[in-house]
A = this chain, B = another copy of it.
Amino acid sequence: MSTTSGRPRRATVHDVAVVAGVSRGTISRYVNGDPYVSASARHAIEAAIAEVGYVPNTAARHLVMQRTETVAFIVHEPHSLFIEDPNIGGILLGANAALSEADHQMAVLIIDTERDTERVAKYLSGGSVDGAIIVSARAYDPVARVVERLRLPAAFVGHPPGATSAAFVVIDNRGSAHAITERLIGTGRRRIGMIAAALDRDSGSERLAGFADALGDRYDDNLVERVPLYSYSAGRDGMNALLDRAPDIDGVFAASDAVAAGAMEALRAAGRRVPEDVGVVGFDDSAWARRTLPALSTVRQPAEGLGRQAATLVLEQLRGDITPREVLLESEIVWRESA
């Protein structure tokens, strides 16, 4: 076993073998918990471990325990969103709290490029974690497929893509979108549009469906602008497109608070007052909602609760408990000044 030059190395199994005067095979049997290691060899190995300062190695322990007490938290988000979506922070801290209370380490893995996807899939296969929490998986996600193939104890935040047996925790996106659109209709608006985002995800397509449910016969697809991401700039661009197509628009349901903040900026630039000329509502109740002027009416997502519940689902599977396949958390409308 060679050492890396230029930095001090940690003691290895080899060092222990030399000091104990036994073979590395014997050390391996010892760390693997093999009962057929003689008492004298065992004592020599234990003394040698103490002498050379061999750090009880997680890798060795894993061979015995098959447990790492680590749970991956996988965020599959493009660059800008990780920074712009404050919900992920809440989900992450909720999961961390629940795992921490159960003495499990959370390791956040970020998927930003195709290369990351492949490496994370390999990492999950390699036995470095006992389970995984997956946020924002999309259809045909290789990470979701790896979790399924390995039968890794897992929980998705949001409805997982494709046919999977994994557990998941969700809010009722469709029902919540329906409810806030109805409330917006109730303020007397007559030309209500939507900036629909992230339609490749369950949350995005369900929010659009809930909007259509609420409008019923009055639904006008010309008043729906589809944007790729739940982002501020997508909201600004989407609002500008709606204003071009329908200058008489007087209400907007933005698919997220960041989208709503961008839409409000576009309305301000176009000289439209919120809520007097155009009523705006969002979705999430993230930090964005409290920073807009006027403050945003929105749907509150229990971000920390989603993270905590996802962690609980994984911990239950690790204990061998039978877990529900789907957990639905309550969301609520928070009505402020923007509509």
Residues of A within 8 A of B (CB): 1, 4-8, 10, 12-13, 23-25, 28-29, 31-32, 34, 36, 55-63, 66, 68, 70, 72, 79, 82-84, 86, 89-90, 92-93, 96-97, 100-101, 103, 105-110, 112-113, 115-116, 119-120, 123, 125-128, 150-151, 153, 232, 261, 287, 291, 293, 317-322
Contact = CB atoms under 8 A, between A and B. Distances in A.
Contacts of A89: 82-83
Contacts of A56: 126
Contacts of A23: 36
Nearest to A288: B291
A66 to B, nearest CB: 6
Given A57-B63, A115-B100, A116-B96, A90 B86 contact: no
A50 to B, nearest CB: 16
Contacts of A83: 86, 89-90, 93, 287
Number of copies: 2
Contacts of A107: 72, 107-109
B127 A112 contact: no
A110 B92 contact: yes
A310 to B, nearest CB: 15
Contacts of A70: 123, 128
Contact of A7 (B66, B68, B128, B151): B151
A235 to B, nearest CB: 12
Given A62-B57, A119-B103, A320 B6 contact: yes
6 contacts: A5-B320, A13-B32, A57-B63, A57-B126, A70-B128, A100-B113
Contacts of A116: 96, 100
A287 B150 contact: no
A105 B105 CA distance: 16
A92 B203 CA distance: 26
Given A79-B93, A109-B106, A126-B58, A318 B32 contact: no
A19 to B, nearest CB: 17
B66 A10 contact: yes
Q: Which 7 A-B pairs have the closest CB atoms?
A: A58-B126, A59-B62, A108-B108, A83-B89, A28-B28, A107-B107, A6-B320
Nearest to A86: B83
A263 to B, nearest CB: 14
A108 to B, nearest CB: 3
Contacts of A13: 32, 63
B125 A55 contact: yes
Contacts of A79: 93
Given A28-B34, A100-B112, A107-B108, A63 B63 contact: yes
Contacts of A68: 59, 128
Most buried by B among A63, A79, A86, A100: A63
A101 B293 CA distance: 41
A60 B10 CA distance: 17
Contact of A93 (B1, B82, B261): B82
Most buried by B among A57, A125, A320, A322: A57
